[in-house]
């Protein structure tokens, strides 16, 4: 038998709406937790990747400290002769990066 309030409104539909809302909220909570876990896992992978690449870059910089500029230039020329396409892409990426850094410094 449906319950009524003092003003004669039926409260049974309100209870079912509340129950459905609570079920919907629990689904949203679970979805949010799942996305949170995925984001945390991806962030951990990104951290590991960046740490690995930073270590490699640090080693390369250490290698450059002991070399003469002419030796470095000769190695760069040899690399560009062996892999011209990759050398162009690296040069373009370096130019883009420097342009963004210098442009940001002016602002």
Residue-wise pLDDT for 82-97, tens only, equals 999 999 999 999 999 9
**Percentage of the chain lying above the pLDDT 90 cut:** 44
Say if residue 53 is in the same domain as residue 9. yes
Instruction: Supply the range of the domain harboring residue 97.
Output: 68-107
Residue with tokens 């373009």, as numbered in its chain: 92
Report how many domains make up the chain.
Answer: 2
> Within this chain, do residues 72 and 58 fall inside the same structural domain, yes or no?
no
Please tell me whether residues 2 and 15 are part of one structural domain: yes
Contact criterion met (CB below 8 Å) for 39 and 31: no
Same domain, 80 and 55: no
**Are 72 and 49 in the same domain?**
no
Q: Same domain, yes or no, for 78 and 44?
A: no
**Within this chain, do residues 73 and 60 fall inside the same structural domain, yes or no?**
no
> How far is residue 86's CA from residue 92's CA, in Å, rounded to a whole number?
10
- Say yes or no: 30 and 6 in one domain: yes
Dump pLDDT digits (tens) for 34-66.
Answer: 999 999 999 999 999 999 999 998 888 888 787
């Amino acid at each position: 038998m449906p319950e009524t309030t003092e003003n004669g409104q039926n409260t049974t539909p309100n209870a079912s709406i509340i129950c459905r809302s609570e079920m919907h909220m629990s689904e949203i909570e679970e979805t949010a937790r799942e996305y949170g876990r995925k984001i945390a896992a991806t962030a951990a992978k990104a951290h590991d990747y960046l740490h690995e690449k930073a270590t490699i870059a640090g080693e390369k910089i250490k290698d450059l400290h002991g070399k003469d500029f002419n030796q470095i230039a000769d190695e760069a020329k040899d690399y560009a002769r062996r892999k011209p396409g990759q050398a162009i892409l690296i040069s373009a990426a370096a130019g883009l990066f420097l342009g963004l850094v210098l442009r940001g410094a002016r602002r």
